[in-house]
A and B are shown apart, each in its own frame.
Chain A
Amino acid sequence: MMSFTDWTGLSGLALVWVLLALRLPVAAHLTDLKRALFVAAAYCVVMLPLFGLSLAGFLRGMVGDLSITSILLLCAALFTRLRLLSCGAADAVWDARNRYSLLLFLSVIALLLHPFALGIGPLDPYRSGFAGIAFILALALLALWAMRRNLMLLPLALSLAALAWSLGWYESTNLWDYLIDAPLSIYALAATGKLLLLNARRGKRA
């Protein structure tokens, strides 16, 4: 019997497989309805245990449950491919400024969290994720500050993570695990690094 947290964890990882499946040539020329059906079928296939283990379960063993922020980004990618993310509000949340601010935030916390988690010193920021009230307040203030700066994606990601943690969405009891995960950290650092490099080149040309 699959528990709720197993289902949520596996479903998040199934999204990765579904997005990969959408890159197959067979999915390229489908109509919107057929593409939606293809997504549903792909989700069922990757969640189905074969020889005791599903594709989503295999990936779960490799990378663990994805953070809510990852799920948000994966859902955005999926909805874009399903042509569901094209209304005005979505565009406002999803513009370059919003995306870059989220990536910058993720890069900073990745640099703050992982080296200490691997033992760089006696401090462990991960500990604050076990219901640290100061940590939750800091995130709430950051979300409100971002809203004042007309940023929408960062407050949305922070709030979704806080809500999911409050509801016990995953098996983890640590709020950090809802904010960021290792693959997302790598992606954010790479994307931010690339962006900084491009900006530096543009600066030189100017």
Chain B
Amino acid sequence: MGKYQRLALLAFVLFAFTLALFKASGWRVQYGFRVPVPPAEQAVAQAKVAEQPLRKKNRHRSRRAEAPIALTGRFETHFASSKLHTQTHAASLVELKDGRVRALWFSGSREGASDVTINSAVFDPVRNVWGAEQVVAGRDSTQRALHRYIAKVGNPVATRAADGTLWLFYVTVSLGGWAGSSISMMTSNDDGASWSAPRRLVSSPFINISTLVKGAPFLYADGTMGLPVYHEFVSKFAEILRLDKTGKVIDKQRLAAGGQGTLQPVVLVQSEKEALVFTRYSGNDAERRVVSIATGDGGRHWSKPAKSSLKNPDAALTALVLPDGKLLAVLNDQEWGRDSLSLQMSADGGGTWHELHRLEEMSGLRNKVMDEQTCVRLVESLARTSDGKLEKAAGPQLTGHVDSARARVNADGGCAFEFSYPYMIQTHNGDIHVVYTWNRTFIKHLVFDRAWLQHRLKEHQS
């Protein structure tokens, strides 16, 4: 190669790397969290609630009928999804600007099928009803927009970005099972009534596969977003993707090494500098416990994963920080199976936990032999208590729900219940909403207020 050609190449090298350094110099990652705004004290709203008579409709079976609502608080349950004879899973929630709550989940003939779509519905807390179910995205629409082959879609998680827009992350798979997942994202300027075309987040050098989302995103102090994600291919570990205000990936932090079985991280921001992460445990240890990881410097460094006192049957959990610093979690409090669901609280930053309420309990039936009719009656009873609309329903409305659920519960001739993948948020009026997979057939929604929580806490303490 001649002298001038060498000089030309040298000039090109210097130009390219100067440009790269210039770009990198404007790319600062700052640490420190944005602490969620605590729910507004709504004295007027609380007073109104206190004046209301106890409503029998939608009343949870655990509430004492004779107690006034002001003492026991509000605890109601509904089905958020309405489609019959489909499989539903992996719901998430986001509060809308007008105080309503939007849920998103995936739904189709079976998990991983090509007909699975990301569906959504909105809960109106004033009318106390869920709206109609709508399709937000599917395999075909995602494939067209991303200009690449897509085999299936999964886990959706929605959140509000620093600029007020809604961001929706969901899993797409082109090759293989869930371990071959990538994350796509869409945005909405009208609180989810319409969504932008999806675009792909690139988060791995290995064909960009095996990054999945499940836990609620959080904000850093500079307005960038932390997206808790996890990796499943070859080994399992939790990570945090950091996105700038336009949704571009600007950093990725590994929370645990492979082999430690940390999946589906849930990040709990406690202060500007402190946060806790809880993860599903998917390892081989006999003692199956939720794994916890902590930071005290705004997310710059994270502690080594440690087992918490919470049991975990290799299943997702959800948790949040209450304004008084207590932690609230919903999880399957068992080492095997997903046939019970528990609401737990910790007053010491996750060191110890106690159960406030058993939300679902069917673990006693696990190894029992049961004929089909008895199982169907159980399903019917459970469906009635799960949604006020079904409490006194008869005929096709109830039959449709029971038949849908029976197809799953009674699938292998047994009577196996599943309550899994909980997701919890606290809205600005202080209410806490939980959604979870109900027998893979419906998305069940719970809403309770602070009065109910206080009541449960007092009962526990007494």
Residues of A within 8 A of B (CB): 2-3, 6, 9-10, 52-54, 57-58, 60-64, 89, 92-93, 113-114, 117-124, 126-127, 129-133, 136-137, 139-140, 143-144, 147, 150, 152, 155-156, 158-160, 162-163, 165-167, 170-177, 180-182
Contacts and interface: CB of A to CB of B under 8 A. Distances in A.
Contact of B249 (A2, A60, A174): A174
A25 B200 CA distance: 38
Contacts of A136: 17, 20-21, 24
B1 A89 contact: yes
Contacts of B355: none
Nearest to B140: A52
B250 A131 contact: yes
Given A52-B140, A61-B174, A174-B249, A162 B16 contact: yes
A166 B19 CA distance: 6
B55 interface: no
Contact of A62 (B146, B174, B258): B174
Most buried by B among A119, A132, A140: A119
- Would you list the 9 A-B pairs with minimal beta carbon distance, nearest first? A119-B258, A61-B149, A119-B235, A61-B174, A172-B202, A131-B27, A60-B148, A159-B16, A140-B17
B13 A131 contact: no
Interface in B139-165: 140, 143-144, 146-151
Q: Which of B22, B199, B207: most chain A CB closer than 10 A?
A: B207
Interface stretch (B3-11, B95-103, B393-401, B438-446): B3-11
Contacts of A57: 143, 147-149
Given A171-B200, A181-B207, 16 more contacts: A3-B199, A10-B147, A52-B140, A52-B143, A57-B143, A57-B147, A61-B143, A61-B174, A118-B235, A120-B235, A120-B258, A122-B254, A127-B254, A152-B6, A165-B20, A181-B205
Interface string B239-256: 000000000111111101
A61 B22 CA distance: 32
A61 B202 contact: no
16 contacts: A2-B147, A52-B143, A57-B149, A62-B175, A118-B233, A120-B258, A121-B257, A127-B252, A136-B20, A136-B24, A144-B13, A147-B10, A166-B19, A173-B249, A174-B249, A182-B205
B40 interface: no
Contact of A159 (B13, B143, B151, B231): B13
B9 A155 contact: yes
A163 B148 contact: no
A163 B20 contact: yes
A2 B140 CA distance: 16
Contacts of B34: none
Interface of B: 1-2, 5-6, 9-10, 12-13, 15-17, 19-25, 27, 29, 140, 143-144, 146-151, 174-175, 199-200, 202, 204-208, 231, 233-237, 248-254, 256-259
B252 A173 contact: no
B259 A64 contact: no
Contact of B147 (A6, A143, A173): A6
A61 B257 contact: no
Contact of B207 (A64, A113, A155): A64
Contacts of A175: 20
Given A140-B17, A177-B202, A159 B252 contact: no
Contacts of B234: 118-119
Nearest to A159: B16
Among B12, B17, B237, B256, the most chain A Cβ lie within 10 Å of the Cβ of B17
Interface of A is mostly: helix
B204 A117 contact: yes
A88 to B, nearest CB: 8
Contact of A127 (B5, B6, B148, B251): B251
Contacts of A182: 205-207
A174 to B, nearest CB: 6
A129 B259 CA distance: 24
Nearest to A58: B149
A171 B237 contact: no
A134 to B, nearest CB: 10
Contact of A160 (B16, B23, B174, B231): B16
Nearest to B233: A118
A30 to B, nearest CB: 30
Contacts of A58: 148-149
A114 B231 CA distance: 13
Contacts of A152: 1, 6, 9
A185 to B, nearest CB: 9
B204 A126 contact: yes
A159 B148 contact: no
A127 B27 CA distance: 13
Nearest to B243: A173
A186 B127 CA distance: 59
B19 A63 contact: no
A140 B19 CA distance: 11
A168 to B, nearest CB: 9
A147 B205 contact: no
A93 to B, nearest CB: 7
Contacts of A140: 13, 17, 20-21
Contacts of A166: 16, 19-20, 22-23
Contact of B253 (A6, A127, A132): A127
B147 A60 contact: yes
A122 B174 CA distance: 27
A89 B10 contact: no
Contacts of B248: 173
A169 to B, nearest CB: 12
A119 B19 contact: no
Contact of B205 (A3, A53, A165, A176): A176
A93 B6 CA distance: 11
A155 B14 CA distance: 10
Contacts of B15: 159, 163
Nearest to B202: A172
